Amino acid sequence: MNTQVAVIGGGISGLACAYRLWQLGVPVTLLEAEQTAGGLIGTVQQDGFLFETGPQSFQGTDSVLDLIRELGLEVDLCQADPRLPRYVLRNGRLEKIPMSPQAVLTSSLLGVGTRWRVASEALRTTKPPTEEESVAQFVRRKFGHEILEYLVAPFVSGVYAGDPEKLSLRAAFPSLDEWERSYGSILRGAMKSRPAKGAGQGHPPLCSFHHGLAMLTRTLAAKLGESTRLGARVDTLTKTDGNASGRYQIRFTQNGRTDSIDAMAVVIATPAYVASHLTAAISAPLSRALSGVAYAGVAVVTAGYYAKQVGTVLDGFGVLIPRSEKIRTLGTVWNSSLFPDRGGEGRVTLTSFIGGATDPAIVAMQDEEIEAIVHKENARILDITGQPVVSRVWKHPKALPQYNLGHGHVVETVRESERAIPGLHFAGNYLEGPSIGKCVDRGSQTAEAARAYLRDGVAK
């Protein structure tokens, strides 16, 4: 069997890439090892509740909204109220997170000294150290420990399930690094980098679909039709003509049978540890670099309650929990506050995340143990009485790539390899960010690069 481009990996990155190639008229085959496409994105409906097994929502960036319109899903799109506050737990109490420098000045969450350090940051000029800096080192140097403990570290847990002491500022938050290098101040850099009036100001809305996030991945897979091979685990990837051009053979196992595909170009859209295995026969340095990407395991615990069981008014996005609170749950999303149709009339849906880089032992525990921890902690924080109407646990032992110190070298090795190895391309959430929007962007850009290679590179 032959195709022009083989895309290995059917998560959101691979789906977006394959769909863009299909749009461009490039013959493409998508190989996905699982029986359903979508990666960590999954939606389950049970007893009238709607649960997400991984990501709970996405930011409605221009590129993602364009994709949704192309797929005809706009009618099912739902947006959260942007005015909903976010909370952090401090001394057992819910405190609103200040969402702007102005809000920081009046926030009871932070002490006077910390508020002054934030307010006066634009009046000072600082230079970053010559060596790569962790997020924790950067925040302590610029703003002090309180901002790290109650704002930045919980945010890092929520986005990366990561450890701020290990996470690279340059890799995880490149804008902050660049603003200090260019302007000597984060606030000055942010102000100077704001788009001009009328050029898309404000944060992208927080979005989902009335029938859950899996609508996006299911629709992409359906558009690709027979170009998608599910349950197809790739065993080997080899170049068939040395380094002269990008002709590849992919051997895979599907339904217990071995098959193969010959392709002019390949996009590897798997997690880094799978990409490391696949590239071992093509480039040992690339394979070693990819094997160095750490992953954090996370358990997703979702629960449905009757509204009368919850003593706290759920009027926000949810709550992030600093490690200093001695609570193992990283944070809880109040799904039915964001999207009221998640539980039905008189019922609420909560989704908690537990584990991550700072608590790796969680994913080795039994589901019942994890549920018990989360339900007990949520009951105390949100004044919940009784057991949930329904509860589910999904464990993801390697949920999120960690953009730790040195991660930039991995990304640069991947990019150098793309330039040096004809027809080999990469997409995935370890390259430019773990958000759905970043994955869609990277997938689409990789499709464009693969088409350009087929048009220009093969012809040379």
pLDDT tens, position by position, 304-345: 999 999 999 999 999 999 999 999 999 999 999 999 989 888
User: Quick check: helix, strand or coil at residue 398?
Assistant: strand
Residue 440: predicted pLDDT: 97
Question: Which CATH number covers residue 15?
Answer: 3.50.50.60
In the structure, what pLDDT confidence band is assigned to residue 102 with cuts at 50, 70 and 90? Answer: confident
**Separation of alpha carbons 148 and 434, rounded Å:** 21
Q: Which residue has the higher pLDDT, 98 or 52?
A: 52
In the DSSP assignment, the letter for residue 98 is: P
More confident residue, 396 or 192: 396
Average predicted confidence (pLDDT) for the chain: 93
In a domain, 56, yes or no: no
At 273 the pLDDT is 98
- Residue 459, pLDDT > 70, answer no
Which pLDDT belongs to residue 196? 62
Among 354, 381, 401, residue at a domain's last position: 401
CATH number of 131's domain:
1.10.3110.10
**What single letter denotes the amino acid at residue 237?**
L
Residue 47 lies in a domain: no
47 and 303 in contact (C-beta within 8 Å)?
no
Let me know if residue 57 belongs to a domain.
Answer: no
State the pLDDT confidence band at 460, using cuts at 50, 70 and 90.
Answer: very low
Please give the single-letter amino acid code of residue 118. V
Could you please report the per-residue DSSP string of 48-86? TEEEESS---EE--HHHHHHHHHTT-GGGEEE--TT---
Does residue 244 sit in the same domain as residue 311?
no
Place of tokens 């993801």: 396
244 or 400: which leads in pLDDT: 400
Q: What is the mean pLDDT of residues 67-91?
A: 96
Residues 452 and 379 in one domain: no
Condensed to tens digits (0 to 9), the pLDDT of residues 185-240 reads 999 998 888 776 554 456 789 999 999 999 999 999 999 999 999 999 999 999 98
243-254 mean pLDDT? 83
Indicate the pLDDT class of residue 106, thresholds 50, 70 and 90: confident
Q: What is the pLDDT of residue 3?
A: 82
Asked whether the beta carbons of 350 and 334 are under 8 A apart, the reply is yes
What is the pLDDT averaged over residues 162-178? 96
* Res. 4: pLDDT tops 90: yes
Banded pLDDT at 242 (limits 50, 70, 90): low
pTM score, whole prediction: 0.94
The predicted structure's pLDDT at residue 244: 55
Looking at the structure, tell me whether residues 307 and 389 fall in a common domain.
Answer: yes
Question: What mean pLDDT do residues 115-124 have?
Answer: 90
Other beta carbons within 10 Å of 449 = 18
Say if residue 430 is in the same domain as residue 395.
no
394: in domain: yes
> Do 233 and 164 fall into the same domain?
no
Q: Quick check: is 46 in a domain?
A: no
369 and 305 co-located in one domain = yes
Residue 316 sits in the same domain as residue 385: yes
Boundary-marking domain end, from 401, 419, 443: 401
Residue 302 sits in a domain of what CATH number?
A: 3.90.660.20
Exposed (0-12), middle (13-18) or buried (19+): which is 346, by Cβ within 10 Å?
exposed
Task: Using alpha carbons only, give the angle 445, 135, 149 rounded to the nearest 5 degrees.
Answer: 130
- Picking from 401, 423, 447, the residue at the C-terminal end of a domain is 401
pLDDT in tens, 24-45: 999 999 999 999 999 999 999 9
Residue 371 included in any domain: yes
Which pLDDT belongs to residue 246? 63
Provide the domain limits for residue 128: 97-192
CB of 38 within 8 A of CB of 10?
Answer: yes
Residue 90 lies inside a defined structural domain of this protein: no
Domain co-membership, 427 together with 393: no
Section 134-163 average pLDDT? 95
* Number of domains the chain contains: 3
Kindly state whether residues 118 and 135 are assigned to the same domain: yes
The amino acid sitting at 304 is: G
Question: CA-to-CA distance for 128 and 135, rounded, in angstroms?
Answer: 12
Does the pLDDT of residue 408 top 60, yes or no? Answer: yes
Confidence of residue 104 (pLDDT cuts 50, 70, 90): confident
